[in-house]
Structure 1
Amino acid sequence: MRFEYLTFLVYSPRGKNTVAVQSKNIEGRIKNGEAGFTDHLSLRLKENNLHTYFEDATLVPVPRSSPQVDGAVYPSLIIAENLVKNGIGNSVTNCLSRTEAIAKSSSKFSADQRNSVSTHLNSLKVEPLIISEPTIIIVDDILTLGRTAYASALLLKEAYPDKEIKIFCPMRTRSFNEPESLTDIKRDFLRAGLNDNVQLPD
């Protein structure tokens, strides 16, 4: 099974040039739940005619690596709510939750150490809320290996088989890149890979 995804900016955590440093600063703003980032992102999406990706869609935020605690920052929910506030997407449906804590991806430095698709499937739950839109767009902050997004998409497709399921992340990780520009628009598909992984196009 495959799911379409869209990312807009590059995140280069191990890069050394000026753009890589800027990408790390933006990543910090996203993780801290800075709404102003999404306001600017919304303008940029419209300037690049990418708002059409979100037409007739509800946005479903991806939970963090542990069950949500009252008062804790929820980056993907903040992104989703502010996109809708800025006219991108129809609504937000907060129907995906984490049932048990798993290891944070940021604490693992190799792909083999990071959570598998099955680990995400076994720790996520969909609450079957009524969704009128024909499209569901999963919103996460950063796309790295695609396992969180892919597992979320599988669960939502099972719960809503008549809906189109897509993915949006503001940033995509390119760990060792020395990018020339922060803007690096990618629109392609995630597919099931070997050994409980996800196949990315590049």
Structure 2
Amino acid sequence: MPPLRSEIPLGTFAAYSPRGTSDTSIRSRQVRDIVKGVRRPLFEQFLDEMQAAPYREALAHVLGPDVIVVPVPRSAPLVNGGLWPGREIAEGLVSRGLAAEMRPMLSRVHAVPKSAFAKYGERPVPQTHYNSLDCEPSMISGTRITVIDDIVTKGATMLACAWRISDVLPGATIAAFSLIRTMGLRPDVEAIIDPHGGTINGAAYWSDRRDGNE
């Protein structure tokens, strides 16, 4: 049984507004769709932006040349030829020198409801995700591991992934990175590219606490 209360560092590169009406908010949803669909070459161009020195510095707490990146599985077991945005992002980070190597250690054993389509209060909690995941033991050369996803809202999946990795690598330092964060409690976003550091806190799932980002 994983701990009910734990916290991991989180870094995100961009933000999007689900309902905002400003030009920037509308464009942010277009960027979200490009990332979720891995629509090249725009997807690659978006990742290229991350190579700028100020962005590297802003995300140094979760990415870097000594970090092993582990893609977050999709909500259902992967099918042959299926799209896996987390893996595409992880591979893109490695190819740009923003991470050391990619290890697809995590897999989904059985499907869970998609958070994006869940009603308020019915999103799968970290324990649900944890029970649906498997992690293969892996010999790795470093101790810094970052789980990688395309979009984060509250971070339940990423927290569960960190728990699963801790099961097999208890000495690892684990963080999370998502290319985009959901700004669901704000009407509009002022900028799409907006590197942000924070935490995913398991306590949020066993209390009434809510925040504006994750």
- Is TM (by shorter chain) over 0.5? yes
Say if 1:194 and 1:81 are closer, same or farther in 2 by CA, change over 3 A: closer
In 2: Cα distance, 1:180 partner to 1:58 partner:
32
Map 1:17-96 → 2, pairs under 5 A: 17-36=22-41, 37-48=43-54, 49-50=57-58, 52-53=60-61, 54-55=63-64, 56-96=66-106
> Share of identical aligned residues, percent?
30
Distance 1:113 1:70 in 2: 29
Deviation (angstroms), 1:95:
0.4
- How far, CA to CA, are the matches of 1:90 and 1:190 in structure 2? 23
Cα displacement (A) at 1:192: 1.7
Tell me the TM-score normalized by structure 2.
0.86
Mean Cα deviation higher: 81-90 or 36-45: 36-45
Residue 141 (structure 1) aligns with: 150
Q: How far did 1:191 drift?
A: 1.8
Measured at CA, do residues 159 and 192 of structure 1 come closer, stay the same or move farther in structure 2, by a change above 3 Å?
same
Matches within 5 A, 1:115-130: 115-130=124-139
Could you say what secondary structure the match of 2:33 adopts? helix
1:52 partner SS: coil
Give the Å deviation of 1:189: 1.6
1:200/1:127 Cα in 2 relative to 1: closer, same or farther (>3 Å)?
farther
CA distance in 1 between partners of 2:19 and 2:86 (Å): 23
Kindly state the Cα deviation for residue 52 of structure 1 after the two structures are TM-superposed.
Answer: 3.3
Query: Which whole-Å CA distance do the structure 2 matches of 1:152 and 1:100 have between them?
Result: 14
Residues 4 and 51 of structure 1: is their aligned pair in 2 closer, same or farther, counting only changes over 3 Å?
closer
Structure 1 pair 181–154 and aligned structure 2 pair: CA distance change class (3 A): same
Which aligned segments of 4 or more residues in structure 1 are displaced greater than 2 angstroms? 34-47, 49-53, 194-202
Matched, 1:101 2:137: no
**Partner of residue 8 from structure 1, selected from 13, 26, 31:** 13
Q: Distance between the aligned counterparts of 1:118 and 1:146, measured in 2?
A: 12
Asked if 1 retains the 8 angstrom alpha-carbon contact of 2:59 and 2:197, the reply is no
Q: Which runs of 5+ in 1 are unaligned?
A: none
Deviation of 1:196 after TM superposition, in Å, equals 4.4
How far the C-alpha of 1:47 sits from its partner, in A, is 3.1
Q: Is 1:180 aligned to residue 190 of structure 2? A: yes
